[in-house]
């Protein structure tokens, strides 16, 4: 088993990845990587224009995020990354040196719409359905109720990770 741990907070747009990853990294006092920061300009433009990414668009994004994860030596890191497809999940899981745990935030569609409508972000609400259609939750993922408040979600993740 690898000696470094990557905790990947996954799920569709608006499920709370960035918010929960930040809270978890604060609670654990470990670094956080924001997946959105690693998209090449062409991915951002594609999503902003209402066209979903495919796995060929995701390769460079994931590689660049993993490069950043590799750069530091933190034993534990939290990553906010949609990780919708088996391709992305496998790439993350196969990252040398890392033991990867997927945490899936489960939030109903109506709430996702509300959250997306109430934030400033490059991801248009029109792409939500494609996100939901594309999402494949790995069997190994820990699914938590993303409707709970952030502190409750964070506590639930920490207690499950300890098992």
Ligand X SMILES: O=C(O)[C@H](O)[C@@H](O)[C@H](O)[C@H](O)COP(=O)(O)O
Ligand Y SMILES: Nc1ncnc2c1ncn2[C@@H]1O[C@H](COP(=O)(O)OP(=O)(O)O)[C@@H](O)[C@H]1O
Binding residue for ligand X, selected from 13, 25, 89, 93, defined by CB under 6 A: 13
Minimum distance between the CB of residue 14 and ligand X, rounded to whole angstroms?
A: 6
Minimum distance between the CB of residue 72 and ligand Y, rounded to whole angstroms?
A: 22
Nearest to 145 by CA among 156, 161, 133: 156
Phi-psi region of 157 (alpha: psi -120 to 50; beta: other; left: phi over 0): alpha
Minimum distance between the CB of residue 38 and ligand Y, rounded to whole angstroms?
A: 14
Q: What angle do CA 39, 12, 123 make, to 5 degrees?
A: 50
**What 3-state class would DSSP assign to 12?**
coil
**What is the x/- site pattern for ligand Y, positions 134-163, by CB under 6 A?**
------------x--xx--x----------
State yes or no: residue 104 binds ligand X (CB under 6 A): no
Among ligand Y, ligand X, none, the one that 56 touches (CB under a kind-dependent 5 to 8 A) is none
Phi, psi of 82 (to 5 degrees): -55, -40
Helix (H) or strand (E) holding 142, with range, is strand 142-145
Among ligand Y, ligand X, none, the one that 143 touches (CB under a kind-dependent 5 to 8 A) is none
State yes or no: residue 17 binds ligand X (CB under 6 A): yes
Using CB under 6 A, which residues numbered 17 to 46 contact ligand Y?
17-19
Strand-pairing partners, residue 34, are 80
**What 3-state class would DSSP assign to 63?**
helix
Residues at the contact surface with ligand Y, assessed by CB under 6 A: 13-19, 80, 115, 118-119, 146, 149-150, 153
């Amino acid at each position: 088993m690898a000696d470094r741990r990557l905790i990947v907070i996954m799920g569709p747009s608006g499920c709370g990845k960035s918010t929960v990853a930040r809270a978890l990294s604060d609670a654990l006092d470990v670094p956080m990587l924001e997946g959105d920061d690693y998209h090449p300009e062409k991915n951002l433009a594609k999503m902003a224009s209402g066209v979903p990414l495919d796995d060929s668009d995701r390769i460079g994004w994931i590689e660049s995020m993993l490069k950043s994860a590799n750069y530091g030596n933190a034993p534990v890191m939290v990553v906010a990354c949609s990780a919708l497809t088996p391709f992305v999940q496998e790439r993350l899981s196969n990252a040398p040196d890392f033991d990867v745990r997927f945490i899936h935030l489960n939030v109903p569609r109506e709430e996702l719409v509300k959250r997306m409508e109430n934030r400033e972000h490059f991801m248009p609400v029109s792409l939500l359905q494609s996100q939901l259609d594309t999402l494949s939750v790995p069997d190994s993922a820990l699914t938590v109720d993303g409707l709970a408040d952030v502190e409750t979600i964070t506590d639930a993740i920490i207690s499950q990770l300890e098992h």
